[in-house]
């Protein structure tokens, strides 16, 4: 059975070769939930890409592709009589008034918040250094704020996902704690849960990349439905038990993990502003 050290050692591979093993792995990953994890835990590993390497590859590909497809909306524009784009005449005025109103509201507001102009406001008790950095960000035009946020989140997104993967595995270990007697083949070691987490996150990023690349709405809808059903099916295939138990655990896993993703997103937002 794999240990955490063995799992991380597999991530040291330099690349994923596009050979028969790659296509065999991708076919099983996309169409057979839980199959790759069961094969790996059973010791049948040479025919497929190792889970850590597959996860790293799919994550980096997703964030690389996202740089071309995820763009900020920018400042609204209108066209003049010659057909050229011009910035709306009242854009600057609205921005000033919005910032002014937000500044006035900041005095009476508890907690940090974003206004309609993407200006960030901190509580009055915030440290002076942090306030200066927030104010520097607030002084940027709206389109530059959006550029900085999007670029920063895409830049640091992979790091956040590398931190979330062990958390996902830990949640699985907690949800499936118990004796082996009834389900002897059920994963118990933390490294085994990491394998399952890596395969499912790899599937998530491969599907998300495909959704970005495919522009047909009907195909996207089918992929979204399959994306939702995949985790439940994979949990039942790997961990066994009743469908009711799998549904209950999947629900708890989804709720808690969504909270962690939200916290990671907030961290990415801060990193996008402070770390340029």
* Predicted confidence (pLDDT) per residue in 175-234, tens digit: 998 777 788 888 989 999 999 999 999 999 999 899 888 888 999 899 989 988 999 999
Which has more pLDDT, 251 or 73?
A: 251
Eight-class DSSP state of 178: S
pLDDT average, residue stretch 73-80: 40
Which has more pLDDT, 4 or 155?
A: 155
Contact 233, 34 (CB under 8 A): yes
Asked if pLDDT for residue 102 goes beyond 50, the answer is no
pLDDT average, residue stretch 146-160: 66
Mean of pLDDT over the chain: 75
Q: Predicted confidence band at 22 (pLDDT cuts at 50, 70, 90)?
A: confident
Low-confidence winner among 131-140, 202-211, 242-251 (lowest mean pLDDT): 131-140
In the chain, the N- to C-terminal Cα span, in Å, equals 42
Query: How far lies 263's CA from each of 53, 60, 238, 259, in Å?
Result: 26, 21, 28, 6
Q: What would the two tokens of residue 165 be?
A: 């993967």
Which has more pLDDT, 178 or 149?
A: 178
Q: Half-sphere exposure (CA, 13 Å, Cβ side) for 233?
A: 14
Q: What would the two tokens of residue 160 be?
A: 């956040």
- pLDDT tens column, 122-134: 555 544 556 666 6
CA angle 158, 162, 164 (to 5 degrees): 110
Sole residue written with tokens 């050979």: 19
- pLDDT tens column, 9-20: 555 444 455 667
121 - beta bridge partners? 113
- pLDDT tens column, 23-55: 899 999 999 999 999 999 999 988 999 999 899
Domain ranges of the chain: 4-70+146-274, 77-123
Which has more pLDDT, 241 or 196?
A: 196
Q: What would the two tokens of residue 132 be?
A: 């200066």
Q: Quote the pLDDT of residue 178.
A: 77
How far out from the chain centre does Cα 124 lie? 32
Global pTM value: 0.68
Percent of the chain with pLDDT over 70: 59
Contact 29, 226 (CB under 8 A): no
Q: Quote the pLDDT of residue 18.
A: 62
């Amino acid at each position: 059975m794999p240990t955490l050290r063995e799992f991380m050692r597999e991530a040291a591979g330099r690349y994923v070769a596009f050979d028969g093993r790659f296509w065999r792995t991708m076919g099983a990953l996309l169409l057979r939930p839980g199959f790759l994890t069961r094969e790996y835990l059973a010791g049948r590993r040479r025919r497929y890409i190792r889970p850590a390497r597959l996860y790293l590859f799919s994550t980096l590909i997703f964030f690389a592709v996202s740089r071309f497809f995820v763009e900020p909306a920018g400042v609204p524009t209108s066209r003049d009589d010659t057909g050229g784009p011009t910035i709306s005449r009242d854009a600057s005025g609205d921005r000033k008034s919005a910032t002014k109103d937000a500044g006035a509201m900041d005095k009476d507001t508890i907690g940090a918040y974003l206004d309609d102009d993407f200006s960030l406001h901190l509580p009055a008790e915030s440290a002076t250094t942090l306030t200066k950095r927030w104010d520097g960000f607030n002084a940027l035009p709206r389109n530059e704020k959006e550029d900085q946020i999007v670029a920063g989140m895409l830049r640091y997104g992979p790091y956040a996902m590398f931190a979330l993967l062990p958390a996902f595995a830990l949640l699985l270990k907690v949800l499936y704690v118990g004796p082996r007697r009834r389900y002897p083949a059920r994963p118990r070691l933390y490294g085994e849960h990491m394998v399952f987490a890596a395969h499912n996150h790899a599937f998530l990023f491969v599907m998300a990349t495909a959704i970005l690349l495919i522009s047909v709405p009907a195909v996207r809808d089918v992929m979204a439905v399959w994306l939702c059903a995949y985790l439940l099916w994979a949990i039942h295939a790997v961990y066994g038990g009743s469908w009711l138990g799998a549904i209950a655990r999947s629900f708890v896993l989804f709720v808690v993990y969504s909270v962690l993703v939200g916290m990671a997103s907030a961290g990415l937002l801060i990193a996008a502003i402070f770390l340029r």
